[in-house]
Amino acid sequence: AQSVTQLDSQVPVFEEAPVELRCNYSSSVSVYLFWYVQYPNQGLQLLLKYLSGSTLVKGINGFEAEFNKSQTSFHLRKPSVHISDTAEYFCAVSDQGFKTIFGAGTRLFVKA
Amino acid sequence: EPEVTQTPSHQVTQMGQEVILRCVPISNHLYFYWYRQILGQKVEFLVSFYNNEISEKSEIFDDQFSVERPDGSNFTLKIRSTKLEDSAMYFCASTTTGEPEQYFGPGTRLTVT
């Protein structure tokens, strides 16, 4: 069975500092990996996805993630965060699209 | 760009009442899903639907829940007798054959009082 572990429930960081949100997954089959962002009282917005090919994936809003098969990780990074990046971030895994399994989420709090 | 739509955006109902949440998936998509997110918690898979039948469901999706594709465009989630603990955001999603990325709708916030 697939599962996703987000290692940090909350990450406070100062504006313009770099940030890494950690995600590990487990799956017995080939996986597809996603990061979603959710702003308060809003829906899910896809940040980026790994389907195949290059292990470094670039997404919207300056975010990127690296797929590491040997470590079963898909950590999300941004070199310089803004106040507007304050939100909940969900890592997710899918196999052939039959369902998506989400992690518990990491709340990124950017301080001025 | 085509998108998944959901109605209503917010539904308030009394405990024990039936509710139907509606979704219009992207028109050429063939796989449909419902997820829920209880306030402050993670998004949980409820059910997947393909070729007019349920392909997979979670343990959350008990006999109180049902899904239907009543016509060529809508996909509905029915809760027969709502409970307080059904209060959550419900997301619909769809995808097409061979496409692992699901496209999510904006959600319906269900409040059971």
- The 10s digit of each residue's pLDDT in B32-55 is 999 999 998 999 999 999 999 999
Rounded Cα distance between B13 and B19, Å, is: 8
Q: Are B91 and A44 in contact (CB under 8 A)?
A: yes
Q: Is the pLDDT of residue A95 over 80?
A: no
Q: Taking all residues of chain A, what is their mean pLDDT, rounded to a whole number?
A: 92
Q: Taking all residues of chain B, what is their mean pLDDT, rounded to a whole number?
A: 94
- The 10s digit of each residue's pLDDT in B80-110 is 999 999 999 999 999 987 778 889 999 999 9
List the single residue in A90, A94, A104 with the smallest CB-CB distance to B102. Answer: A94
Rounded Cα distance between B6 and B97, Å, is: 22
Question: How many CB atoms sit inside 10 A of residue B17's CB?
Answer: 12
User: Given an 8 Å threshold on Cβ–Cβ distance, is A97 in contact with B100?
Assistant: yes
Rounded Cα distance between A16 and B25, Å, is: 39
Q: Phi first, then psi: what are they for A11, rounded to 5°?
A: -135, 105
Per DSSP, the three-state class of B17 is coil
Rounded Cα distance between A21 and A26, Å, is: 17
User: What residue of B is the nearest CA neighbor of A40?
Assistant: B40
Q: Is A89 on the interface with B (CB under 8 A)?
A: no
Q: Which two tokens stand for residue B14?
A: 């009394």
Q: Is A7 on the interface with B (CB under 8 A)?
A: no
Q: How far is B102 from chain A (nearest CA, A)?
A: 7
C-alpha distances in Å from residue B49, one per residue of A1, B24, B25, B66, B68? 19, 14, 12, 11, 9
User: Given an 8 Å threshold on Cβ–Cβ distance, is B35 in contact with A51?
Assistant: no
List the single residue in A42, A51, A97 with the smallest CB-CB distance to B31. Answer: A97
